């Protein structure tokens, strides 16, 4: 009997043939922990991604999608299918007036996108330079630096439903964007994966220089490129390059306390570094950890970065065991000293609540 296969059948079969088994994730996370994926594949187009999700659904495999792995703490082998997001493409649309809309695929490099917009003379992303990871990470963590967050310029997010394969857009205002948080880390964790974002930029804009002392290091009338270059310089001075020293950037969120708690802390610690935030205050986690005596400390094969106590680094370990112990020690000492709980910024994989969920861990980093 003759059998006929459609081109779609052949395509799906080719995608399935590309799935690998028992692959080390050491080169896919910037901590370089060498845990393994049960199944592994790279998605470089929406069609490939849909086929991979269909395969996982058919065999009832869990799905995890990662980008640059720069905001990721892998602490064990990962069951199911790990998909590396390599979707690429940038499309710019110029509107009448002052607006530029950019549609950017989730697998694009974030810093390269920022550099591209600055070279075009478009305002909005310059303070977010040199943040490692991919574009798809930006909404997940609501990335931010020097007084700017991605929610300030994000218009909408394209997602794929990992169960149905449907692709559609979600308005940014519906994504639950908050301080280093979004619905992609919460109620949408098990269903939606980010495939692209739409960003609104300005052809003429106002530079934000008040945060982090940027204005003190810039000319009296700085250009867009001046700000971009200075942000890159400041970040390079404070943060280690993941390519040379394994790390996931800022490991702890800046804790937020009430006004009453802030007053108590300020009375006890006059040099406390804090910033007004909504109805309370945001404390500088790096300052708290530094004052607790952790900056530059080493613990087995990991440690606290000597120039920035907010960053944990991996010198030589292949597993996360020592890092998790170090994290616990730092949290306890800061709580004992200040009564403040620190919260981790990188997303842990496998998730402690991981049963049959797909995770959307870009960078996230």
Structural domains present in the chain: 11-87+351-355 (3.30.43.10), 90-215 (3.30.465.10), 252-344 (3.90.78.10)
Catalytic residue among 149, 198, 345, 362: 345
Flag whether pLDDT at 354 surpasses 50.
Answer: no
Q: Cα(26)–Cα(359) distance, rounded to whole angstroms?
A: 18
Flag whether pLDDT at 275 surpasses 60.
Answer: yes
Residue-level pLDDT at 3: 40
- Two tokens at 281? 């205050």
Q: Does the annotation mark 250 as catalytic?
A: yes
User: Is residue 230 very low, low, confident or very high in pLDDT (cuts 50, 70, 90)?
Assistant: very high
Catalytic residue among 250, 322, 327, 362: 250
Residue-level pLDDT at 219: 85
Flag whether pLDDT at 307 surpasses 90.
Answer: yes
> Order of strands, edge to edge, in the sheet holding 167-171?
90-94, 99-105, 192-202, 154-161, 167-171
Catalytic residue among 32, 156, 180, 235: 180
Q: Does the annotation mark 263 as catalytic?
A: no
Residue-level pLDDT at 357: 34
Flag whether pLDDT at 352 surpasses 70.
Answer: no
**Range of weakest confidence among 6-15, 44-53, 74-83, 94-103:** 6-15
Contact 90/108 with Cβ under 8 angstroms? yes
Q: Which candidate, 109, 66, 59, 121, places its Cα nearest to that of 346?
A: 66
Question: Average pLDDT in the 90-110 region?
Answer: 95
- % of the chain at pLDDT higher than 90: 81
User: Is residue 328 very low, low, confident or very high in pLDDT (cuts 50, 70, 90)?
Assistant: very high
Flag whether pLDDT at 248 surpasses 70.
Answer: yes
Residue-level pLDDT at 13: 83
Which residues are bridge partners to 90 per DSSP? 104
Contact 64/83 with Cβ under 8 angstroms? yes
Flag whether pLDDT at 167 surpasses 70.
Answer: yes
CA 91 to chain centre: 22
Q: Cα(122)–Cα(100) distance, rounded to whole angstroms?
A: 8
Cite the DSSP H helix spans in 46-162.
46-58, 110-120, 137-141
Q: Cα(225)–Cα(235) distance, rounded to whole angstroms?
A: 15
Flag whether pLDDT at 364 surpasses 60.
Answer: no
User: Is residue 210 very low, low, confident or very high in pLDDT (cuts 50, 70, 90)?
Assistant: confident
Q: Does the annotation mark 96 as catalytic?
A: no
Torsion of CA 74, 330, 189, 80, to 10 degrees: 20
- Which of helix, strand or coil describes residue 238? helix
- Two tokens at 138? 């930006």
């Amino acid at each position: 009997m003759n059998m006929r296969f459609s081109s779609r059948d052949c395509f799906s079969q080719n995608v399935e043939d590309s799935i690998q088994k028992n692959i080390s994730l050491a080169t896919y996370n910037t901590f370089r922990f060498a845990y393994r994926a049960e199944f592994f594949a790279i998605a470089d187009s929406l069609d490939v991604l849909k086929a991979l999700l269909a395969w996982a659904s058919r065999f009832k495999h869990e799905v995890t999608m990662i980008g640059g792995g720069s905001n990721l703490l892998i602490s064990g082998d990962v069951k199911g299918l790990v998909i590396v997001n390599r979707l690429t493409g940038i499309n710019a649309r110029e509107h009448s007036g002052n607006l530029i809309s950019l549609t950017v695929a989730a697998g694009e490099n974030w810093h390269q996108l920022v550099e591209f917009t600055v070279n075009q003379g478009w305002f909005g992303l310059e303070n977010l330079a040199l943040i490692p990871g991919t574009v798809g990470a930006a909404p997940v963590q609501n990335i931010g630096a020097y007084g700017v967050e991605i929610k300030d310029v994000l218009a909408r997010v394209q997602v794929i439903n990992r169960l149905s394969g449907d692709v559609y857009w979600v308005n940014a205002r519906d994504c639950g964007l908050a301080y280093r948080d979004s619905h992609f880390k919460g109620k949408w964790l098990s269903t939606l994966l980010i495939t692209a974002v739409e960003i609104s930029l300005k052809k003429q804009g106002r530079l934000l220089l008040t945060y982090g002392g940027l204005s003190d290091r810039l000319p009296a009338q700085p250009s867009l490129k001046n700000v971009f270059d200075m942000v890159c310089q400041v970040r390079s001075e404070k943060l280690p390059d993941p390519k040379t020293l394994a790390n996931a950037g800022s490991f702890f969120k800046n804790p937020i306390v009430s006004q009453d708690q802030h007053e108590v802390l300020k009375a006890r610690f006059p040099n406390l570094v804090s910033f007004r935030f909504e109805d309370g205050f945001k404390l500088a986690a790096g300052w708290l950890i530094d004052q607790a005596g952790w900056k530059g400390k080493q613990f087995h094969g990991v440690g606290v970065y000597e120039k920035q106590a907010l960053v944990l680094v991996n010198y030589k370990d292949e597993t996360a065991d020592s890092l998790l112990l170090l994290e616990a020690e730092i949290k306890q000492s800061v709580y004992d000293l200040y009564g403040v709980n620190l919260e981790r910024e990188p997303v842990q994989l496998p998730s402690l609540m991981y049963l049959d969920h797909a995770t959307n861990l870009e960078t996230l980093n």
